[in-house]
Structures are given as structure tokens and as C-alpha cells.
Structure 1
Amino acid sequence: MSRTRPTIHDLRAMKGKRQLTMLRVMTLDEAEAAERAGIDIVSIPPELLLDPRYRDAAPSLFSMPGENFYEIGNGDDFVRWAFRMVKASADAVYCSASYATVKRMADEAVPVIGHVGLIPSRRTWTGGWKAVGKTAQSALDIMRAVRQLEAAGAFGAEIEVVPVEVAEAISKNTSLFMLSMGAGAGCDAQYLFAEDVLGSNRGHMPRHSKVYRNFAAEFDRLQGERVAAFREFVADVESRAFPEERHIVRMDSAELATFLREMDRL
């Protein structure tokens, strides 16, 4: 059954009624799999959204490209970038830049998703890769950040690695559509990275992630098969087992005789 891609209005109407699913996908194959699996929202690299094949593969996915503020520039640069993304069918854009930059885009009616809690690009301010909001004061700081995003005109916010009680209380007390990454089930969507879900991540596995398949082992098996195939090719060439008769084209004997005779004259 085909699905209709949700609008901002649709997502706002769903707030508090059920949890949606969200993945970070990096490839066209992952996007197509998310579409077929019934995932609701995806975060994607901008270049994937710009791929002309993307919407054929993922027609109903609410798609959110994102870039870090230091990769784009100032507010005007972000607005130009956001317009390009919306033109390419983005449903919202992710922005971890300043509230002023969020406001610049929101003022142009671009749906913006901000970020609170553990913000990877700003982790030095909160102590590195660790939970944020474990004290009353730091939890209030997150709530203040949410209020500032509201005032800037953001549509929603990712809330990352925040105590479940804090995330749930904030989600109930904001109009923002809250995307939980390691912040419990009290928000509006559950967000994981496809590489963690698929078990293809060979680096640190976040505590909040869940592995559903072991792609790393399959990749290792395929790499072993790749090396074996290449070695067999080398062996065939060295032993003259390749190419075989079925791999080549023969010349008519009369034409060959003419060619060889004329070649000797050159």
C-alpha cells in the first residue's frame, strides 16, 4: 500500500499521540529499505537528497538533510543552502547553528529542526561524549534552549542523550516536535543511525543504539570472497586458463589470411 508523505501540519497533529520512527540513512539502498520498511522520518546527507533517484526510491519518507554550522557559514549562507534543499524536496532541515540562524530560515518559512542536549558539534561545552541534563540546573538549561528554539521559529528539535524523565517532561511542555536519540520513549519520534541498526558500525557503539543485524560479519565474508575471486583470476591468467574460447572473437580464416599478407607489406 502506498503512503502519503507527511507534512509539517501532519506531524504537529501527531504530537503526543504516537511515536514515529526515524533513521539516519547514508545511501540510496538504505533510503529505499527505510521506505519499504515503513520508517517515518529520515535524516540524510544533502548530496543524497540531491540525487535525482532519491524520491523514486523514497517517495513517502519525511526527509531532513543537515549540515553543521561550520560547514556552511553564516545565516545568509544557511538560508541559501536551505532554499536549495527545499527545492530538492526536503521536508525540513537540520541546523545546530545559532538561534539567529534558525530564525533566519524560519522567517522564510523553512521548517527547521534544532538540537538540544548532547550536541556533537558543541560537546566541548558540556564535557564531551556524555549525557547532558543529569542535574536540575543542566536540565533547566536544556529547557531554556528549547524555549529559545521555539522563539526562533523552529519546528522541532533532536534531543540527545538526556535523562528520560527530563526529555519526557520537556516534550510534554513544548510545541516542538521532539526527536529522541538516547532520550527515552517520552518524545515524539525514536531516532537511530542505520549503521548501528544494521551492525555495520565498527567503531564505538552508543549505549542507546540497538543492533538488529550483523552486516559487519557479512561485509567481512564478502571481502574474503572478493579477495578469493581476484586470486583465482590471477591464477587463471598465469596458467592461461583465461580467456577461454567462449570469451573471445575469431576472425574468418580468409579474412585473416588477407590481413596477415597485407600486414607483411606495411
Structure 2
Amino acid sequence: MARLTVRDLLDQRGKHPFAMLRVETLDEAEAAARAGVELLSVPPAMVFDRRLREVAPDAFIFPGDNFYEIGTTDDFLHWAFPLYKHGADAFYCSGALATIRAMADHGLPVCGHVGLIPSKRTWTGGFKAVGKTLETAQLVWQQVRAAEAAGAFAVEIEVVPQSITKAIAEKTGLFLISMGAGAAGHAQYLFSDDVLGQNRVRIPRHAKVYADFAAEQDRLQALRVEAMGRFARDIHDGDYPAPQHLVDCDSEVVAAFRDWLDQATR
């Protein structure tokens, strides 16, 4: 598969439903790419690791972090340019509209965030759906229009009623990345921690669990403890190291060394 471009995503709106995952490790990135997940959100540092493109050569890569981890508009630009140089395809930005505008003005593909924005949840009442009332649905639409006017090509639309997302999708030119906002999004986005079942806190309602890595991690941890316990007991009981674990030399060498050592330490 050829590496996707922004133009490809926009042209495929409503024609092909894209899969997107947040991955935290190279192993997860490789698994996602091999599994056919087209869009990957990654920690920014991962972009600088040349192995990312070795394991996921065709994936559309979004580095992203919360706006308060990056800073002002100038900080975002200084953050984005090296990432773009190292192969990032687009940038998640929950910062100011001025930041989106500045990045877009420099030709950097930007994805904004609307609806439930976890880093700004205090404004919409915490971790809950946004858009269930006329007023909040209008807010989501205003956020979409503002991001588009600022130059974003996409927005993550999070925990918005599916009917509101569908109505917005019919009226916007943006690529909508749905996280719990319904099938009208042009991509469906989840975190690999939830998909793999390794999230040990509350699983969001919109998430779907496909594996039980937490149980497997617990099993492996029990194996670690058991193996390391036997190792410690072997040492304490004098059973390790055993002869098969040792290397030695000829007795003549040992005798000569001891004679030399006796003289050297007088």
C-alpha cells in the first residue's frame, strides 16, 4: 500500500472507513501496521526513532501531545518542524486557533480537537458527552467551523452524539476522526491500551476490548516472581552456581598463579 497523504484522506471521506489507533511502543506500531490500521497516533519521541518507519512504512503518522506539554504557538512550531522533517504526516493540536492557523500557514497538516477535549474538560463539565443539548451541539459545530477556518484539515471529534456527528459530517469539509462519536466519522479512533485489554482503570463506554493483555501480563509477572524466587533460593542454598555453570583452567596454571600471587602480595 502506498503511504497515504492528506489529499487521500480528504478524497476518501465517506468512501472508505479508516482505522486509527494510539500506540505507545514500536511493537504496537508494527502490530497495527501489519493488521491494516492505516492511521497511527504516536508519542512525538517515536517519530525520531528510525525504526518506526521500518515497522510501519505506510502508516499515516500523527504525533501528538496535550497543548500544555508543548506551550505557545511558537513552541508548537519549533516542536513540529523537526517532526515533519523526520517523517510525521500530520500533527494533533489541542492548542489555540492561532496555533492551528500558524502551523497551517507554514504548510503543516493540522488536526484539531472538538467535543470532549480531555485537557479542557473543565469547560464542558468533565468526562462526559458534549453535544446532547442544542447549546452544546452548536458549540461542537462552532468548534468544527473555527478549526476549518484556521486551516485544519481534520478534527478529532470525541464523545459527541452520533446523530450530531452525522449532521456535522454532512456540512463540513474536514476529515472527522471519531472517538466515541459514531460511524459518521471518517476514521474510528481508539487507544491500543483499550483494544488490547491492558487498561487497568475504567474502560470508556466507546472502547471495545479485543484481547486480555492485563491477564497475560499478570501471568508473566507471576512467572517472573517464581523464576527469580527459585534463582534466589538456589543462591541461598548453595545450589547455584553448579559445575555446569563454571569455567576453569588447568591445575598447573592455578598452582603457578598462586605462587606468583603469594610473592606479589608479600
TM bin (shorter chain) = over 0.9
1:27 paired residue number: 25
List 4+ stretches of structure 1 deviating above 6 A.
Answer: none
Matched, 1:217 2:211: no
One-letter amino acid matched to 1:23? L
SS for the counterpart of 1:116 is strand
2:244 paired residue number: 246
1:99 paired residue number: 97
Distance 1:123 1:42 in 2: 24
What CA deviation, in whole Å up to 9, does each residue of 1:210-254 have, x standing for no partner?
A: 000000000000000000001000111112221122222101211
Describe how 1:5-20 pairs up with structure 2 within 5 A.
5-20=3-18
SS for the counterpart of 2:16 is coil
One-letter amino acid matched to 2:217? F
Distance 1:246 1:29 in 2: 36
Gaps of 5+ in 2: none
**Cα deviation, residue 201, structure 1:** 0.2
TM-score under structure 1 length normalisation = 0.98
Which of 117, 120, 132 matches 2:118? 120
Identity fraction in percent: 54
Matched, 1:256 2:238: no
One-letter amino acid matched to 1:190? Q
1:43 paired residue number: 41
1:134 paired residue number: 132
Matched, 1:65 2:63: yes
CA RMSD of aligned residues (A): 0.8
2:150 paired residue number: 152
What CA deviation, in whole Å up to 9, does each residue of 1:111-165 have, x standing for no partner?
A: 0000000000100000000000001121111111111111100010000000000
Distance 1:97 1:31 in 2: 26
Q: How many residues align?
A: 264
Distance 1:239 1:194 in 2: 44
Matched, 1:168 2:166: yes
Is 1:21–1:189's contact at 8 Å kept on the other side of the alignment? yes
